[in-house]
């Protein structure tokens, strides 16, 4: 089906884009088709789309024959979505969940299927949603997210760079992540104040972390980056005696946290737990 202009669709229904929901609709067809191809290439049996809105990306995914589970918390958007995509909903290729993605029970909805997660994430909820996705290990083929460009650059940042931080370490500890597409503000309506970018996340194979290790790593990394100007020794004081295990980890206490790779943080976590 052809995607209708969101300005016209909202006007017909007496609605406006809601800033509180971060509603900036992707109107550029080139970008939405490109995003759908990246999702399709993950090879998942079904795709969860976070924040389906009026269905611009949904339509592109369906055109690839993908089975889509759309998640939308705005009841007004959901009502229009049901009308616009009635045929797909009836056929079973599309399912709509009227729910908040930050509390959505992905594991219960997916069953045993191999799945992917995608979406144009609201800027103010990006970290919350991605941290939730990091918990979904089994069956996850990968993720394709459109997010604020500045956040995307932090996620893909290398150790030692000023952008490198908590998101960089925790995501790269579990996923191979690439910035695959830059999306200018003009590709949206209403036009946002910042540019966006698309990241592709594919799980590391074999997995680096055991299921029970992620929360421990998360606690260490968050504490390590809580005071970036301090040494690792001082940042982790009270949690890990970095100097006491330096011979085993090969990590000196006087280094800065931002110089450690995800692999080094994992080593630090494991040795500390064993000591």
Of 165, 183, 203, which marks where a domain is finished?
203
Domain boundary pick from 154, 183, 203: 203
For the cut 80, the answer to whether the pLDDT of residue 106 exceeds it is: yes
User: 40 pLDDT exceeds 60?
Assistant: yes
Write the CATH number for 32. 3.40.50.150
pLDDT of residue 8: 87
Domain that holds residue 160: 6-203
Residue 1: the pLDDT is 54
Q: What's the CA gap between 228 and 173, in Å, rounded?
A: 20
pTM: 0.93
- Are 55 and 26 in contact, with CB atoms under 8 Å apart? no
- Listed as own residue / partner, the contacts of 84-88 with beta carbons closer than 8 Å and 24 or more positions apart are 84/1, 84/4, 84/9, 84/54, 84/55, 85/1, 85/55, 85/58, 85/59, 88/62
Among residues 168, 203, 238, which one ends one of the domains? 203
Q: How many domains does the chain contain in total? A: 2
Provide the CATH number for the domain around residue 270.
1.10.8.100
Per residue in 218-267, pLDDT (tens digit) is: 999 999 999 888 999 999 999 999 999 999 999 999 999 999 999 999 99
- The DSSP code sequence of 77-92 is HHHHHHHHTHHHHHHT
**Statement to judge: residues 92 and 221 lie in one domain:** no
DSSP 185: G
Does the residue 208 lie in any domain? no
Domain match, 37 and 79 both: yes
On the question of a cis peptide bond just before residue 190, with omega within 30 degrees of 0, the verdict is yes
- HEC profile of 197-265: EEEEEEECCCCCCCCCCHHHHHHHHHHHCCCCCCCHHHHCCCCCCCHHHHHHHCCCCCCCHHHCCHHHH
Q: Tokens at residue 176, please?
A: 């191979």
Which tokens belong to 158? 């290398």
Give the integer Cα–Cα distance in Å for 58 and 41.
Answer: 16
Would you place residue 122 in the very low, low, confident or very high pLDDT band (cuts 50, 70, 90)? confident
Residue 54 lies in a domain: yes
> CA 174 → CA 169, 207, 267, distances in Å?
9, 7, 14
Give the tens place of pLDDT for each residue, 253-266: 999 999 999 999 99
pLDDT tens digits, 125-159:
999 999 998 888 678 999 999 999 999 999 999 99
């Amino acid at each position: 089906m052809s995607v209708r202009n969101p300005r016209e669709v909202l006007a017909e229904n007496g609605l406006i884009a809601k800033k509180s929901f971060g509603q900036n609709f992707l109107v550029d067809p080139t970008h939405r088709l490109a995003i759908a191809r990246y999702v399709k290439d993950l090879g998942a049996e079904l795709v969860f789309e976070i924040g389906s809105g009026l269905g611009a990306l949904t339509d592109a995914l369906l055109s690839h024959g993908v089975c889509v589970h759309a998640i939308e918390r705005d009841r007004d958007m959901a009502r229009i979505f049901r009308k616009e995509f009635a045929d797909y909903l009836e056929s079973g290729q599309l399912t709509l969940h009227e729910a908040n993605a930050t509390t959505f029970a992905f594991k219960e909805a997916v069953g045993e299927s191999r799945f992917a997660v995608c979406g144009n994430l609201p800027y103010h909820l990006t970290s919350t949603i991605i941290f939730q996705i990091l918990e979904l290990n089994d069956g996850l083929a990968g993720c394709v997210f459109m997010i604020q460009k500045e956040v995307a650059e932090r996620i893909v940042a290398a150790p030692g760079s000023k952008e490198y931080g908590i998101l960089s370490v925790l995501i790269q500890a579990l996923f191979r992540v690439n910035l695959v597409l830059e999306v200018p503000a003009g590709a949206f309506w209403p036009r946002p104040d910042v540019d966006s970018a698309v990241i592709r996340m594919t799980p590391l194979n074999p997995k680096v972390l055991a299921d029970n290790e992620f929360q421990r790593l998360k606690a260490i990394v968050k504490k390590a980056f809580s005071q970036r100007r301090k040494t690792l020794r001082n940042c982790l004081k009270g949690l890990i005696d970095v100097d006491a295990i330096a011979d085993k980890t090969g990590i000196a206490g006087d280094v800065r946290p931002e110089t450690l790779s995800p692999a080094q943080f994992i080593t630090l976590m494991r040795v500390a737990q064993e000591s």
